[in-house]
Structures are given as structure tokens and as C-alpha cells.
Amino acid sequence: MAGAADLLGPKADRAFGLKLVAPAMIILIVLLALPTLLTLVYSLHDVPASGSSFGPFVGLENFTIIFSSPVFWRSAQVTLTFSVGFVILSTVIGLAMAMLLNQRFIGRGLARALLIIPWATPWLVIGILWKWFADGSVGGLNAVLMMLGLTSDYHPFLSDPNTALPITVLAAVWRQASFAGILLLAGLQTLPEELNEAAQLDGANWWQRFSNITLPWLRPVLITVTVFNVIYAFLQFDVVFAMTQGGPGDTTQVLSILIYRQLFVNTNIGLGSALAVILGVVALIGGLTIVRLFYRREMH
Amino acid sequence: MASSAFERGRRRSLATSVAIYLGVLVFAIWILLPVWYLVVSSLITPSQLGVKPFPLVPSSVTLDNYAAVLFGNTGGKGIGSTDMGTRLVPTIGQSLLVSSILVVLNLFIAGAAAYGLSRYPFRGARAFELSVIATRIVPAIAIIGPFFVAFRVIGVLNTPWALVISYNVFTLPLAIMILKNYFDQLPREIEEAAKIDGATRLQTLWIIIVPIARPGLVAAGVLIFLEAWSEFFYALVLTNQLTVPPLLAGFQSVQQFNWNALAAATVMSMLPPTVLVLIFQRHVVGALTAGVGK
């Protein structure tokens, strides 16, 4: 086994490597590490609306205010509901699409190109598109439901507190399922055909092949996809902003919308930053939990 | 290859084939129905739009909505007295400007960094790489506060520079990750040959590696462009509708701006990223899925 020093190569090479990386490193420290640190500092202060100074140090008071606020807990609950629906549906629909597009059929190339379109569409545009698609007076969704005879009249999906959140989830899933589908399809294409054929000869049915060959093969891709889905779920802003701005009432007010309101509508930088810290920590824990969950199951 | 694929296709039962084509139909409807609704909306008049149910196959189409958002031909077509109709084209220009500057800047900076990490690892290179990956989890929304304050102090709020600077937060790590992956897969023999021929490290990188790495650089460039073109939150907060996404959000909040015109503007905003991705489909999917399934 080579020691770390051998792997690193001669000193001149190391210096050259550092020189190449230095610009990126400096930019990321200034633009990422510094603002992250500042946000942490802001969260411990009562920052004036102008943001020109930190203002008085208040310790954990911002966090105390947040944790005792029903608005925060309501928003956390909405975020959780949104995220669970988003992650499960994106992954499952993405997997279904990937498995379908891995079959042989006429027009497969075209279908695979179609899969890319939702992914290439900006999140905000998806929000705008679905806001109108689900609209209560000119929407296409209502038209289809009516033509199919499922409903007799148009339903205002986004102003109904019961349907607003499910429709925003569906809109976000429309995009993210495509992303999951693209990655999972690439994973499926590396699955050796012989594995399935051998299992088929042994008399394994479709479900047995799916659960014993396909799923285990896809596990690393599924981990990647799920972690991305979790992160996008917690950070979703554009779709909700375009569709409902958090309404009706607070039924779709996810944490990112709440942060936006605190920072730029109420201009409460301290409170907004504390919320941002909470969201960041939750996203981090969410991502790490998924990774651990998958690996633990792998060990058994 | 082709014959074995054909044989496998033959072995499929009729029931399976029917199920697959039904699945394809459902898939096509899932993807295309919202897009179709958008395109039809952009091609019909407000009075056609008011019909219930919505005319999924319109009896007549018009380009008036496109004329309205592209040239400001509002002439009583329901856009009202706002000047918003004339703002789309200059805003598309600004979006293109911001995205292009970022692509060029990031390809240089991330390309150099990724190559350094791949070929000349130094002490701490691995830690840096891991922290680059970890930045994907740092919510961009969470660090907007300091940007807003700092940009107001140095006076770049409402300028393209606010976006050119802040977008590095997500585009630079993305580009480094993709290019590092790409350089790792390039054979090292060519560089060793160049070294023997007496080329310096920098000459090798510029004259030999850059041309070979073109597919990877193209893929990274397209993905950077997509991120910059699509970004909404920073553009909303740090500028006054400088790029297309916040402008569309602005259109949506103006009462006189009807859905037909907004749909036309939305179609225009979807065209550049969709065309770009479809042209470079293989490159982009390859870069996105590099390392998947290994």
C-alpha cells in the first residue's frame, strides 16, 4: 500500500495543483463560507431592518421566538407534508418511467427526449404553468376532468385549502420525477441483461426479478436520487411562490416562503436568519438520514 | 446487437406489448398535457380561453399573443396600458448575458480547479472536494441575507453583477463536480507523452487537455447555463426583474396581463433551455449520470 505522500506526487506538482484550485477555493470561501457564518451571527442578533449593523446580541432569543410560534410549527408541518409527498412520488414515478423507457418499443428515442423536457424547464415556469393548468376558470386540468365525466363543474383547486397543497406537490413532482427518471434510466441501462434472463430461466416472476435484481442493482442510484429529492423538497420556493404564495391562508406556506416573508416583507433579518439556520440544519439532517437509512438496510 | 434486440422483442407476449404501449400513452399524456395546455393557451384569444371546457383542440389559432409580448403590440388585446409587453425581449437579452458570462467564467475557474484536483492532488484536496459536494446541501435561500446586505453596501443591487457574483454559489460547485468526474475518466498517457516531449504543465493543460475535454466542457457549460437561466429567488431579491423568471412572476401579478400573453411569454422563456438540452442531450445526460450505476 502506498503512503499518502506517494499518492500526492512531487512537491512541484502539488504546488501546481494548489495554484489551479486556488481561485475556485477563494471564491467559494468568500461567497459560501462567509455568508453561512454571517447568517449564523445574524441569527443570534436583533438585526436592524437596514442590515447596516448586527444590532444587539440576543443569544438564542430568535430561536425561542420561533419555537414558541404556532406559525412556525404550522409551516414546519406543511413543509414536512410537502416533502414526504414530493420525495415519495418523485422517486416512484421516476422509477416507473425509467423502467418503461428501458423497454423496447417504437418511438423510444422520442419518449426519452420527452423525459428531459420537464427537467429542463425552470422551477418558476413549472409553477406558473401548473398554476394556470389547475386554474378554476380557464384551467386545462378541469377541462380534462370534465371531458372524462369525472366532475360536472370547474373546481378552483388552488383556492381550496384541501387541494392547494396536493396540487403544488404534483407540479413539483412533474419536474423532479423526470430528473429521477433520467438518472434511474442510466442506472438500468448498466444492468446486465443476463441477470434477468438467468432468473427468468429459473422461473422467477416479474415481481421476484424486480425486487431481487432490479432494486438492489439500482440502490446506489436510488440513494443519489432520494438525497437530491430530499434537498429539493426542503428548499422548494419557486413552485409554491408562483402557484399560491403560501395560501390560501397558510395551507401551503413552506419554510422557504416563511423565510422570504421574514427577511424581505417583515425585514426581520435576525428572525429570518434563525429560520434559515433551522431550515439548513433540517435539510442536512434529512439528507444524512436518508443516506444512513439506505446503508443500514444494505448491511442487513 | 440489432438482431439480438429484435429476438428479445419477439419473445414478448402480446399482453406485455399492450401493457407497454398503454404505459407509453400514459407517460406521454403526463408529460405533454401541461405543455400542450400552455402552447394552446398562447395561441388562442382571451374569448376562446373563457369557453368551458378549455378547447384542447382550438378551432382557430392566432400569433397575437406572441406579437404582444415580443413587440408590445398591445392594441386592445387585453394587456392594458402597462409597458410590460415590451420588456420581455430586453430581459431575455439580460438573462442570456448573465448566463453566458457565468458559463465562460465558471468553465475557466472550475475547469482549472477540477483538473488540479484530478491530476495534481495536494494536501487537503480531498477535503476541499468533499466540501464542494457538501455545498449542494447548503440552502441558497439560507444565505441570501448577507448577500443582500453586502450588495447594497457595495452598490451592485439591481445590476447583472449581483447575479454574476451570487450564482457562483451553486454553479461553481456543480461545474467542479462534473469536470472532476470527467477528467478522472480521461486517460493519463497523453499527458505523460507530452511531459516527455518537454511540454510544461500549463502547456499540456491548454494545448492538449482542453481540446480532448471538449465534450465534458460542453456538458458542464450547458448545465451552468440551465442553472443560471432558471434561477428565480436570487434574481427576485437582488434585482428588479432583471432576468426572465422574476419578470414572468411580475407579469403574473399584473391584473391586466392575461393568461394568453403570459403563456406566450412562458413559451418564449422555455425555448432556450429546451432547445439547448435537446441539442446536447447525449452530453448533458452523460455528465448528469456520470458515476451512476458503478
pLDDT tens by residue, A27-68: 999 998 899 899 999 999 988 887 778 888 888 999 999 999
Q: Does residue B163 carry a pLDDT above 90?
A: yes
- In terms of average pLDDT, the best of A202-206, B2-6, B25-29 is B25-29
The residue-averaged pLDDT of B87-99 equals 93
Determine the pLDDT at residue B293: 41
Instruction: Give the model's confidence band at B52: pLDDT under 50 very low, under 70 low, under 90 confident, else very high.
Output: confident
Quick one: B67 and B130 in the same domain? no
Q: Cβ separation of A21 and B31 shorter than 8 Å?
A: no
Q: How far is B56 from chain A (nearest CA, A)?
A: 8
Q: Cβ separation of A186 and B293 shorter than 8 Å?
A: yes
Identify the CA nearest to B264 among candidates B250, B255, B251. B251
Residue ending a domain, choose from B69, B85, B101: B85
Distance CA A251, CA A169 (A): 12
Instruction: Give the model's confidence band at B31: pLDDT under 50 very low, under 70 low, under 90 confident, else very high.
Output: very high
Which has the minimum average pLDDT: A69-83, A261-275, B77-91, B225-239?
B77-91
Quick one: B104 and B76 in the same domain? no
Determine the pLDDT at residue A108: 93
Bridge partners (DSSP) listed for residue A57: A45
Determine the pLDDT at residue A228: 83
Contact A66, A271 (CB under 8 A): yes
Quick one: B212 and B101 in the same domain? yes
Identify the CA nearest to A289 among candidates A223, A225, A233. A223
Quick one: B191 and B67 in the same domain? no
* B2 within some domain: no
Distance CA A213, CA A209 (A): 5
Each residue of A132-163: b (16+ CB within 10 Å) or e? bbbbeebbbbbbbbbeeeeeeebbebbeeeeb
Q: Which of residues 62-91 of B touch A (CB under 8 A)?
A: none
Can you list the alpha helix ranges (DSSP code H) found in B120-143? 125-134
Average pLDDT over chain A, rounded to an integer: 89
Give pLDDT tens digits for B268-281.
Answer: 999 999 999 999 98
Quick one: B114 and B160 in the same domain? yes
Bridge partners (DSSP) listed for residue A45: A57
Q: Domains in chain B: how many in total?
A: 2
Distance CA B117, CA A13 (A): 11
Write down the CATH superfamily of domain A74-299.
MetI-like (1.10.3720.10)
Distance CA B118, CA A177 (A): 32
Quick one: B95 and B202 in the same domain? yes
Determine the pLDDT at residue B134: 76
The residue-averaged pLDDT of A279-299 equals 74
3-class DSSP string for chain A: CCCHHHHHCCHHHHHHHHHHHHHHHHHHHHHHHHHHHHHHHHHCECCCCCCCCCCCECCCHHHHHHHCCHHHHHHHHHHHHHHHHHHHHHHHHHHHHHHHHCCCCCCHHHHHHHHHHHHHCCHHHHHHHHHHHCCCCCCHHHHHHHHCCCCCCCCCCCCCCCCHHHHHHHHHHHHHHHHHHHHHHHHHHCCCHHHHHHHHHCCCCHHHHHHHHHHHHHHHHHHHHHHHHHHHHHHCCHHHHHHCCCCCCCCCCCHHHHHHHHHHHCCCHHHHHHHHHHHHHHHHHHHHHHHHHHHHHHHC
Identify the CA nearest to B288 among candidates A191, A186, A113. A186
Contact A248, A168 (CB under 8 A): no
Give pLDDT tens digits for A122-141.
Answer: 999 999 999 999 998 888 89
Q: Does residue A88 carry a pLDDT above 70?
A: yes
Grid coordinates 434537498 are at which residue?
Answer: A231
The residue-averaged pLDDT of B112-126 equals 92
* B166 within some domain: yes
Quick one: B159 and B210 in the same domain? yes
The residue-averaged pLDDT of B132-152 equals 82
Domain ranges of chain A: 74-299
Q: Does residue B77 carry a pLDDT above 50?
A: no
Grid coordinates 376562446 are at which residue?
Answer: B48
More confident residue, A255 or A193: A255
* B140 within some domain: yes
Q: Cβ separation of A31 and B277 shorter than 8 Å?
A: no
Residue type, A34: L
Q: Which of residues 57-96 of A touch B (CB under 8 A)?
A: none
Q: Does residue B263 carry a pLDDT above 90?
A: yes
User: Which member of B17, B34, B122 has the closest CB to residue A130?
Assistant: B34
The secondary element (H helix, E strand) that includes residue B115 is helix B88-119
| Burial bucket for residue A268 (CB in 10 Å: 0-12, 13-18, 19+) | buried
* B42 within some domain: yes
User: Which member of A24, A104, A183 has the closest CB to residue B109?
Assistant: A24
Determine the pLDDT at residue B208: 86
Q: Does residue B2 carry a pLDDT above 60?
A: no
Residue ending a domain, choose from B51, B66, B85: B85
* B8 within some domain: no
Instruction: Give the model's confidence band at B3: pLDDT under 50 very low, under 70 low, under 90 confident, else very high.
Output: very low
Residue ending a domain, choose from B40, B63, B85: B85
- Is A131 near chain B, with CB under 8 Å? yes
* B174 within some domain: yes
Quick one: B137 and B283 in the same domain? yes
* B211 within some domain: yes
Average pLDDT over chain B, rounded to an integer: 86
Q: How far is B196 from chain A (nearest CA, A)?
A: 15
Pick the residue of B37, B47, B176, B258 with the most A CBs within 10 A to test the interface with A by mutation. Answer: B37
Which has the minimum average pLDDT: A3-7, B7-11, B213-217?
A3-7
| Burial bucket for residue B4 (CB in 10 Å: 0-12, 13-18, 19+) | exposed
Quick one: B105 and B208 in the same domain? yes
Determine the pLDDT at residue B145: 85
Q: Cβ separation of B52 and A133 shorter than 8 Å?
A: no
Residue type, A77: Q
Altogether, the residues listed in chain A come to a count of 300
Find the domain containing B133 and state its range: 87-257+270-288
- Is A158 near chain B, with CB under 8 Å? no
Residues ≥6 apart with Cβ < 8 Å to B276: A120, B222, B225, B226
Q: Which of residues 164-203 of B touch A (CB under 8 A)?
A: 165-166, 168-169, 172-173, 176, 201
- Is B130 near chain A, with CB under 8 Å? no
The residue-averaged pLDDT of B165-194 equals 89
> Which residues of chain B are within 8 Å of residue A44 when distances are taken between CB atoms?
none
Question: Which CATH number goes with the domain that contains B245?
Answer: 1.10.3720.10
- Is B22 near chain A, with CB under 8 Å? no
List the grid coordinates of B188. Answer: 493519463
Quick one: B126 and B81 in the same domain? no
Dihedral of CA atoms A23, A29, A35, A37 in degrees, nearest 10, equals: -170
Identify the CA nearest to B48 among candidates B70, B71, B32, B64. B64
* B193 within some domain: yes
Give pLDDT tens digits for A142-175.
Answer: 999 988 888 888 889 999 999 999 999 999 999 9
Q: How far is B80 from chain A (nearest CA, A)?
A: 20
